[in-house]
Chains A and B, each alone.
Chain A
Amino acid sequence: MRVPRNLEVWKMGTVSYLDALKLQEKLVSDRKANKISDTLLSLQHLPTYTLGKRRTDHNLLIPESALKYIGAELHYTQRGGDITFHGPRQAILYPIISLRDIGLGARNYVEKLELTMIRLASLYGVKANAGQKGETGVWVREKKIGAIGVRISSGITSHGLAFNIDPNLEYFKHIVPCGIADKEVTSLRREVDLVLPDDEVIHEQLISCFVRLFGFSNVISKENPPILLDDAKRE
C-alpha cells in the first residue's frame, strides 16, 4: 500500500546561516501543520562555525573575537552533534521531512543520511563508510568527509548533512571537528584523481541519492526560490 510521496527541492545557492535557520523554523512549523509537503533545502554557507545543543564551545580552538579575522561567523543551534564548520564548496542538505509518515526513528534516519553521502562518494569511486558507534558521520579511512547534525521536533526534521566537495580545510584546524580529537577531515577533491564536475552537478547527485534512498516518488524542483538570497552569493 505505497502512497506516492512528494518532495519539494529548493536549490538555494549560497545562503547565510541565520537566514537558513529562520527558513527551516518556518518550514518545520508549516510541515507540522501539514501546510506543506516534505521539503529539501540544497545549499552552501559562507564560512560559519556552528555548535549543537550541548554547546561544546571548548572545541573551538580560537577565541570567538578572532573569528572575524578569518572571515567566519559562529552560531549556536538546537541540533544534535558537536562543533562543525560550513563553508563554500561544501554541499549541504537540510531535509524538512516527517519521520512519522515514513515510520523512521532518529537512528534509522541518520543512517540513511550517512548512506546518502556514502552513495555520492561511490559515484566517484571513493569508498566511504559510516563511523563506528558514537561517531556519526561519513569517513574515508580515518578521515571525515561528511558530517551530520539533526534536530527532530514532533517528528519533523531540520538541519541535516554537510558533504565536503572541496571546502578550504584550513578552517577545520580551528576546531576539534565534531569533538573527536586526532581525526582529520578530507574532501572529495582530496580523495579523487580526476577533475571533478561543477559543484552544481555534485549537488544534483547528492539530491538524487537522497531522493532514491528515502523513496520519494514525486520530486518538484524550485530553483532560486524567492526567499532570503544572500547578497554575497557566489557562483
Chain B
Amino acid sequence: MALRMWASSTSNALRISVSSKAHLSPAFSLSRCFSILDGLKYASSHEWVKHEGSVATIGITDHAQDHLGEVVFVELPEKGGSISKGGSFGAVESVKATSDINSPISGEVVEVNSKLSESPGMINSSPYEEGWMIKVKPTNPSELESLMGPKEYTKFCEEEDASH
C-alpha cells in the first residue's frame, strides 16, 4: 500500500505555498502545509474516504487533526449501523472540545477501528493510516463523485485558513 505523498510535503520542506492562485492569499497563506494524499477523496468537513472495491475507509485529514489538537477520546458507531452523507457518525474530544465527525458518504458500517479507544492519539500521529475510523459499504457510490480530489482539497484548506 504505497501511497504517494502530495506535493505539499515537498513544498513544506521548501516552505512555499502549493497554491498557484496567488491573488487569493497573501504570501504565507498556510501556517504550515498539511499532508494531503493522492488516491483519496475529501469532504469540506475535513474527512477523507478511500474507496477500494466494495468497501470505503473513512477518517479525518492531517489538516483536521492539527486544528483539533491532541485527541483524547473517540466515539464511534456500532458495526452494522447505517450512516448518511453529511450526518454525524461519531465524535472526537480534544482540548475540552467534542467535535462531531460527519460522514462523506452513505452506507453500512462494516468495521470500526477499536484500537482508537485505547490509543485515540493515532488520529494525530497517523490520520490516514493507523488513525482510520470506520469502514463502510457505500449504498450510493455516486456520492464519491461529488467529493473533492487532492488538488481541490488543498485549495479549499488554503482558503479556509486564510480567512481569519
Chain B contacts for A109, CB-based, 8 A: 97
* Contact (Cβ within 8 A) A53 B75: yes
Residues of A in contact, count (CB < 8 Å): 32
* Contact (Cβ within 8 A) B96 A136: yes
The answer for the CA separation of A104 and B46 in the assembled complex, in Å, is 13
* Contact (Cβ within 8 A) A133 B97: no
* Contact (Cβ within 8 A) A154 B93: no
* Contact (Cβ within 8 A) B100 A80: no
Interface contact tally, CB-CB below 8 A: 86
With contacts A102-B163, A154-B45 taken as known, whether A78 is within 8 angstroms of B98 at the C-beta atoms is yes
A217 contacts B by Cβ under 8 Å: no
* Contact (Cβ within 8 A) A106 B162: no
The answer for the CA separation of A150 and B94 in the assembled complex, in Å, is 10
* Contact (Cβ within 8 A) A106 B164: no
With contacts A78-B98, A108-B67, A109-B97 taken as known, whether A53 is within 8 angstroms of B91 at the C-beta atoms is yes
Beta-carbon contacts of B142-164 to A below 8 Å, as 1s and 0s?
00000000000000000011111
Query: Least Cβ distance of A50 to chain B in Å?
Result: 12
The answer for the CA separation of A96 and B66 in the assembled complex, in Å, is 22
Residues of B in contact, count (CB < 8 Å): 26
Chain B contacts for A103, CB-based, 8 A: 160-164
The answer for the CA separation of A155 and B88 in the assembled complex, in Å, is 12
Which residues in window 61-116 of A have CB below 8 A to B?
Answer: 78-81, 100-110
* Contact (Cβ within 8 A) B73 A107: no
Chain B contacts for A80, CB-based, 8 A: 93-98
Chain A contacts for B162, CB-based, 8 A: 103
* Contact (Cβ within 8 A) B88 A110: no
Query: Least Cβ distance of B137 to chain A in Å?
Result: 24
Q: Which residue of A lies closest to B91 (CB)?
A: A53
Q: Which residue of A lies closest to B75 (CB)?
A: A53
The answer for the CA separation of A94 and B160 in the assembled complex, in Å, is 24
With contacts A53-B75, A107-B69 taken as known, whether A136 is within 8 angstroms of B98 at the C-beta atoms is no
B17 contacts A by Cβ under 8 Å: no
* Contact (Cβ within 8 A) A153 B70: no
The answer for the CA separation of A78 and B20 in the assembled complex, in Å, is 41
B68 contacts A by Cβ under 8 Å: yes
The answer for the CA separation of A104 and B69 in the assembled complex, in Å, is 12
Chain B contacts for A79, CB-based, 8 A: 96-98
* Contact (Cβ within 8 A) B97 A54: no
Q: Which residue of B lies closest to A53 (CB)?
A: B98
- Of A52, A106, A151, A154, which is within 8 A of B95 by CB? A106
* Contact (Cβ within 8 A) A150 B68: no
B102 contacts A by Cβ under 8 Å: yes
- Of A52, A81, A106, A133, which is within 8 A of B68 by CB? A106
B99 contacts A by Cβ under 8 Å: yes
- Of B64, B95, B100, which is within 8 A of A110 by CB? B95
The answer for the CA separation of A103 and B70 in the assembled complex, in Å, is 19
Q: List 24 A-B contacts (CB under 8 A).
A: A52-B96, A53-B73, A53-B98, A79-B98, A80-B93, A80-B96, A104-B67, A104-B164, A105-B64, A106-B94, A106-B97, A106-B99, A107-B68, A109-B97, A110-B97, A134-B70, A136-B95, A136-B96, A148-B96, A150-B97, A151-B97, A152-B99, A153-B100, A155-B45
Among all A-B residue pairs, the 10 with the closest Cβ atoms: A105-B67, A107-B69, A81-B96, A150-B97, A103-B164, A103-B163, A136-B96, A106-B97, A80-B98, A152-B99
Chain B interfacial positions (CB closer than 8 Å to A): 45, 64, 66-70, 72-73, 75, 88, 91, 93-100, 102, 160-164
